[in-house]
Structure 1
Amino acid sequence: MMLFASNSMLLSTIIMLTYASLGVSRPTSNFVDPDFPITEDPEEMRAEALKRLLEVFGMEDPPHTKGLHKQPPQYMLDLYNTVADVDGVTKDPDLLEGNTVRSFFNKIHSEQIQFLFNLSTVAKTEKVLTAELHLFKLRQKATTPALHRHHFCQVNVYQVMDNRKASHKLLSSRLVPIHTTGWEVFSITHAVRAWTADENSNHGLLVTVRTLGGTNLDPNLIRFASGRDHHESKQPMLVLFTDDGRRAASLENSLKDQNKEGDALNIPPSLKVNNSRTARSLENTEDEHLPCQRYPLYVDFEEIGWSGWIISPRGYNAHHCKGSCPFPLGQNMRPTNHATVQSIIHALKLTKGIETPCCVPDKLFSVNLLYFDDDENVVLKQYDDMVAGSCGCH
C-alpha cells in the first residue's frame, strides 16, 4: 500500500503504521488517545499523523536542512551499504555497534593540525560507545635526505584542555608509514565522552607529527587533508558510535511481554496488539476469508515530504499482516500455544466473548536511515521493529 499525501489513504495508512509502531491499538470510542486530536480537517489530521510518524523515528521535528547538502562522507555511505540492503533493512543486527553513527566535520582552520567538532546535536541520553578521528594522509609535497632515512613517523592526538600547551592530554599515539597515503583512524573515545558530559570542556584536538627520535617534522613533509584546502571527500571527520537506549528498551519490553503472555514466539510489544482488527476496520472485509499472510505496505519518504533530509533509502516496505485465523490453526499459520488454546476456546464457545486469534507480525526486522541532521552532519540510525518479516496467528 502506498503512502500518498494527496488523498485520504495517506492518513489512514500513517495512522495505522504509527499506532502499530508505538505499541498502541487504534483508538475506539471508549479508549481515545487524549493527545491525538479527533478532527475532520485533512490537513490537521495529516500533520498530527506525520508528527506521530516522526516519534517512531525518535524525532520531535524533521531536520531543518538548507536544501544544498554537502556530499555525504564516503565512509558513511559505505557503512550504510554494509549494514543495510537496498531497502534499508538490516542485514545483520550485530554488524553495528550501538544503533547510531554520527559524523562531524571540523569547524576551525588553524596553522597547526588542530580540529574542533560541534557535538551539540548529540543528545544527553546517548551513550558514547566509540569515537574516532579520521584523518586523510596526503602525499608528500617535497622530500629531504633526512626524511628518506625514516620509514615511520609518530602521530600524537591530544585533547586540548585549555590554551596552555602543558595541559594538553594525550589521547592516542601510534606509528604511521611516512611514504603512504590514505585514511588514518585514531580512537578518542574518552575525550568525546567528556565533551558530551560538559560541552564547555570541548576545546578541540591537536595533532603533532614527530620522528621516532621525538623531533618535530615539517608540516609540509607529512600532511593531513583539511576541509579548507582539499576535496570534501578527504576532510577530517569525527565519527561517533552511540546508543540512544531505544534498543535496550525494546528488548526489555519484549521480555516482559513474553513472560506476561507465555507465548512460544518472542513477539515485540510494539506490534503485538489487535492490528488485524485495526486493518479490518479500515479495509473491506471481503478478504477476511483469506488465511493470515503478509502483504506489502510501502512507506515512500518522498510522498510524505521527507526526501529533503533522508539520504537513503528513498522508502521501505514495512509490510503488514492481514487475514483470518480459523480453527483449527495449522503450523503454516505459525500459531503460538496461547493462540491455539484461544482458537479452541472460541470454536467450542467455552467462554463468552472470546474472539479468534489475530493475524500479526511474529518476526520484525530493523530499518536503517542515513540522513542529514540540523547541522548538516550525516547520521546513520537503526530503528528496531520496523518491518514485518513474517506473519502468524497470536
Structure 2
Amino acid sequence: MGPKIMFTKVVKAQLWVYLRPVQHTSTVYLQILRLKPVTDEGSRHIRIRSLKIELNSRAGHWQSIDFKHVLQNWFKQPHNNWGIEINAFDPNGNDLAVTSLGPGAEGLHPFMELRVLENNKRSRRNLGLDCDEHSTESRCCRYPLTVDFEAFGWDWIIAPKRYKANYCSGQCEYMFMQKYPHTHLVQQANPRGSAGPCCTPTKMSPINMLYFNDKQQIIYGKIPGMVVDRCGCS
C-alpha cells in the first residue's frame, strides 16, 4: 500500500474474488484469513470474514466482500499487515477461489476497488475560466458535467461508476483565450468565409478504469482524453 493512500480517507473498499464455475448448484464457504507471524502458540491464520454463497453459475462468478474496516485497521496498525489468504471450498473440499496467476487465470486474480478522499493542498495556476450552472459568464468557460455509467446501463464497467468529465461552452471574443496565434490570423484573413474560433478543450487528462471484457476477465487501463481540465478558443 503506497504512502499516498495510507494518509487518505477510505470511503469504500471492496475486495473482488473470482470463483471458478460449478457444474451443479453448490454451497460455497468463502473465507478471508489474516496472516500473522509463525509462533509456538499455534495457527498463523485469523479469520476476519466468512461468507456462505449459493453458486449455480457454469460461467464463473465474481464475488465482492466489504473490506473497508479491515483496511482501516491496517492503516492504524500497518506493522500487523502480513497479508491475507483467500479460499472458497465447495462440499467436496475443492477450492474455487482463483488466487494465483496460473494458466487460464489472466484477468481473474483478486483485486481491491478503493474509493478515497485526498487532501490536496497544492494550488495550481488556472489559465481557463471555470463556471457552473448559475454563472452568467458568456465567454468560453469550463462547466461541470458528471457522467454516470450506471444511468447508461453500462454494467460491464466496474469502476468508476461515475466521474467528472466537464465540458466547454461559451463565446470566443476577439483574442480571448485563443490557444494559438494561428487562430487569430485565420480569423483576420478569413479565407472563404471561415468560421471564427470555437470554445473547445485545450487540456485533457485520462482516467483509470476497471471493466469486464467479453470473456468476463477484469481489464485495467488508462483511458486518455476523458476529463476536460481547461477550455480555450481555437
**Which TM-score band (shorter chain)?**
0.3 to 0.5
> Where is the helix percentage greater, Structure 1 or Structure 2?
1
TM-score by length of structure 1 reads 0.28
Structure ranking higher in strand proportion:
2
Q: TM-score, normalised by structure 2?
A: 0.45
